[in-house]
Structures are given as structure tokens and as C-alpha cells.
Structure 1
Amino acid sequence: MTSVPTTPSTQTDRPTAVVTGASSGIGAATARTLAADGYHVVVGARRVDRLEALAEEIDGTALALDVTDEDSVAAFTSVLPRVDVLVNNAGGAKGLAPILDADLDDWQWMWETNVVGTLRMTKALLPKLIESGNGLVVTITSIAAFETYDNGAGYTTAKHAQGVLHRTLRGELLGTPVRLTEIAPGAVETEFSLVRFDGDEEKAAKVYEGIDPLVAADIAEVIGFVASRPSHVNLDTIVVRPRDQAPNGRFSRRS
């Protein structure tokens, strides 16, 4: 595991961005984008081997992080001397079952990862974000934070709760030098569906069959734009869908 560097070139000359869930997908793409924009990026996730390769690529720092574990979050956040940007990206879905057949373990995982994990990271780093004088919290929710769909209640309820957590901060932090942006993506082809279907590649592929989905870099570019806005500009909520997707799970699929 890569330790946090202490040289001025990485910790004082460059602003620091923290990206959770950075071992793949949107998190990894965001780390690359922010690094290219001049940030020292601290990437966190459970798959440390992937993090270390990413950190070497972007001249960043890799630290093991499990947002569902209080001790892991404490260890991660305690060694960061400065934080200017926090990207709450860690999250995910498990299963696609109706409420009648709900798997409580899957629900517990989704709520712990998406909601409580976001709470842990944000609560721990808010003092440093305020201290920075120009902090930014970006929370990656989902269109599932605004819509529902059959068999998806475990995920949609968690994402609704995560969105409400983030939006509540907008009022609670009013008057502090911290901006808050919620980004709600639609269908993005990453490892998301692979995780949801326990590694079933065939099921995961069908989610994006016949459409041109978003890719991780599309969302990372939006995050980079948000972070580049002047300190008086707060982009509250950004919904991003592929052209082939309408609300409530409707897709235009080509045969």
C-alpha cells in the first residue's frame, strides 16, 4: 500500500482530491481527470492492487478503503493533511428482486455502501474541506435517486436516501466555503451491472444491449467541469443520461 507523501510538491503545491470507489469505472476515470487538471488525487477502494497501479499512473496516492468499515474510514481520513475535493463515488447495487422476495443481506450492503459509507466519508472530511477555504463535495448518486423501477427498490431506496443526505448538507453548510454537487448518472457501462448480477457477464451485457450507454469518462468529464468552476458557482444537481434512455427505465433499443 502506498503511504501518503509528505513532500511539499504533492501536499501543498497542489490541491488534494479524494476519490472513493476508485479501483475501476467512474472512480478511476475521475481520478485521471482530476490529476490531469492539477490535483494530487488520493484514491481509495478495497482492491489495493488496482489502486496502486492507478496512483503510479497519475502521480497520486493509493490507500485501502472500505466505506462500510468505520475503522477503515478512520485510518484513511486521519492521514490526510489537506482535502480540497471529495468525490463520494463508492456505491453499487446487488440483485434485482421484487420487494416480496427481497434479500435483506443485499439491502443491508446497498444501504451500508451507498448511504452510510457516504455519511462516514463526508462527516470525517468536512472539517478539512471547510478549512481548505474552497471545498467541494461531489456525490455520485443515480437517476435512481429520483425515480423508481420494478424490482429495484433496494437500490432506488438507498440512492434516494444518499441523495437526501447530500441535499441536506446544502442548507447545513450554507455560509461555509464548501460547494456541493450531486451528479445523477443514467446507464453507464462499467462494472456496475456485473456487481449487481454477482459476476454474471451475460446478464450484465444485456443491460446495455442495443443502446449506446454512457461510459465512465463521460461522468468524469462532468466532475472535472464542476471542480473547475469559480468558488461562487455551485452546480447543485446534474442529471446525465445517454440519448437512448428516458425516465423510468425506458430505452430505445436497436435490434
Structure 2
Amino acid sequence: MEPIPTYIVTGATRGIGRAVAITLAARGFNVVAVGRSKDLLESLAETCGSFITTVNADLATNDGIEKLAASVASKSDIDGIVHAAGSLVPLEPFDKIDSNELAEHFRIHVGVPIAIFKSLKRNHVIERMLFIDSYSASTARFGWGAYSVVKAAAQMSARCAAQELSETRTIRAYPGAVNTQIVEAVLASDTETAATFSSMLERGEFAEPEEVARFLVALLVDVPDELLCSRDAFDYNNSADRADAYSHLRD
């Protein structure tokens, strides 16, 4: 009997990360779900049952990285990692950015995925690694300076991984406009985008995390390497990308 595939999901307590963890568990995979909220991890475990192993850890610390590494069975393959952990980067214009706070956001969005990979690669084969990308990485919006700078750095990290890691298939995926905490932050902000988001919300143009999770899991689990290699990134808002991902879904 073949071993059940194992997937690691960071940021598994909220939003897209939680939805991805639930989707993977519903398909019968072993999921190592990492997050900082013990209560939310317990709730996730109740939802997913025996398919979930929860790890209550702050991945921005060395102890957190070591705790994650210790939770994975020695010498076992890791079929995929989903880097969904993040921080709520404040929507601030360039002249209001606090460089010390920005450094902490860099640590979470850029440093943590690198640290996780380096730690796990010592004892495990990592088949696939999925990074959640953002349009803000390449589109400057007034008042979004800090957010865009962090996302741009995270995107470049993922692009470097895709180019340099020959034994791990790196996937970049744009979830598009998703109804998560960032939407609430934008609506409460003084940015020009607040009015745009408000109109989009009224028109029902934000996808729910569960919808996007199905797409991300298809890329992580089902889509063959040949298709993954054919594009730089996949976009949930692109109907062709969705069709390609879903056409390879396995029972």
C-alpha cells in the first residue's frame, strides 16, 4: 500500500490557509497545519479529524521552525508545502512606512518560507511548493507602499525558488480578490482603493477562500509537471487557468 501523501500548510488558522488545509484533508491527505492560534487550530482539528496534525508555532522564530520540522516523520517525503502564513501589512504610503515594522513583515513573508525549506530539505524530499502571489507585487497603488514592497519581495523569492530548485516544483498562484482580512483592512482605510473594494463587495466580486482553495489544491496535487512548467504563474481569475487546473482533478 502506498503511503498517504503529506502536505504542510502554514497560516492554516484563517482565510486561504485554513480553506486549503480543510480541502486537502477532505481529499484524504495527511495535513500538517501550522498556526499561532491554539484555539483556531483545535477548531480546525475538530473539522478535519485524523487527517490533520496541528502545530502551534510562531514560524518567525527558530523555535517555531524547529517545532515544525520535528512534527514531520523522519525521512518521509513531503508532497507539498503551501506558504499561506502572512501578516497584515499596514496600508501605508511610502513616507509613512516604519522601517522596523517593515523588517518584521519581510521576516514573515520572505524569510519564513526560506527557513522552512532549508530546515525540511535536510531530511526530506519536497516534491512541490506553492507560493500565494499578489497583484500588488507588480502594481503600485497609492497608499499601499508598505504592502506592495513586501509582496514584491515575496514574489521575487518565489521566482528565485522556481528558477533554482531543480528537485522541488515551485508554483506561484494568484488568488485574486478574496474575502479575507485584507478586504476588511482596505475598507477601513483611507486609501483610494477603499471605494473600489466597497463597490466590488456590493457586486459580489470577491471569491470566498473555499473557492480559491479548490484551485490551489488542484495545482498542488493534480496538475502534471508539464503544465506547471509551461507557465510562470497561475491566476484564479483567469478562466483558462481554472479550466486547466480542474481538468486534471483526480477522484
TM-score by length of 1: 0.78
After superposition, the C-alpha distances for 1:194-244 in whole angstroms (9 at most, x for unaligned) are 4x57xxx8559867422121221122111111121235442541133499x
Structure 2 distance, partners of 1:187, 1:234, is: 22
- Cα distance in 2 for partners of 1:179, 1:19 equals 16
Aligned match for 1:238, one of 227, 234, 238: 234
Q: What is residue 156 of structure 1 aligned with on the other side? A: 148
Alignment of 1:38-49 (within 5 A): 38-49=28-39
Aligned equivalent of 2:172, options 170, 173, 182: 182
Partner of 1:97: 92
SS of corresponding position for 2:9: strand
> How do residues 52-67 of structure 1 correspond to structure 2 at under 5 angstroms?
52-58=42-48, 59=50, 60-67=52-59
Contact 1:193 1:207 in 2 (8 A): no
Q: Go from structure 1 to structure 2 and tell me whether the alpha carbon gap of 1:67 and 1:29 turns closer, same or farther (over 3 Å shift).
A: same
Aligned twin of 2:222 = 228
Match of 1:51 in 2: 41
Secondary structure at the counterpart of residue 33 of structure 1: helix
Q: CA deviation at 1:67?
A: 2.1
Instruction: Give, in whole Å, the separation in 2 of the partners of 1:85 and 1:147.
Output: 29
- DSSP-derived class of the 2:224 partner: coil
> Partner amino acid for 1:142?
S
Contact residue 143 and residue 239 of structure 1 kept, 8 A: no
> Is residue 91–residue 189 contact of structure 2 (8 Å, CA) maintained in 1?
no
TM-score, normalised to structure 2, is 0.79
Q: Using the alignment, how far apart are the partners of 1:48 and 1:33 within structure 2?
A: 20
The amino acid that maps onto 2:156 is V
Q: Which runs of 5+ in 1 are unaligned?
A: 1-8, 244-255
Provide the residue aligned with 1:210 in structure 2.
199
Q: Aligned in 2, Cα 1:72/1:141: closer, same or farther, shift over 3 Å?
A: same
Per-residue deviation, residues 30-63 of structure 1 (Å, max 9, x unmatched): 0111112221111001002111221232131111
Specify the code of the residue in structure 2 equivalent to 1:210. S
**Can you give the 5+ residue segments of structure 2 that lack an aligned partner in the other structure?**
240-251
Structure 2 residue 107 is the aligned partner of structure 1 residue 115: no
Instruction: Quickly say closer, same or farther: Cα 1:145–1:125, change in 2 above 3 A.
Output: farther
Q: Once the two structures are superposed, what CA deviation does each residue of 1:133-156 show, in whole Å capped at 9, x if it has no partner?
A: xx1100112112222212212111
2:79 maps to amino acid: D
- Percent sequence identity over aligned pairs: 25
The aligned counterpart of 1:246 is none
Aligned match of 1:251:
none
Q: What's 1:136 paired with?
A: 128
Corresponding residue of 1:250 = none
Worse-matched range after superposition: 19-28 or 155-164 = 155-164
Letter in 1 for 2:228: N
How far off its partner does 1:126 sit?
3.2
* Cα contact 1:65–1:72 (8 A) shared by 2: yes
Seen in structure 2, the aligned counterparts of structure 1 residues 231 and 94 have a Cα distance that, compared at 3 Å, is closer
Letter in 2 for 1:229: V
Matches of 2:227 and 2:27, distance apart in 1: 18
CA distance 1:152–1:105, change in 2 (3 Å): same
User: Residue 13 of structure 1 aligns to a residue in which SS?
Assistant: coil
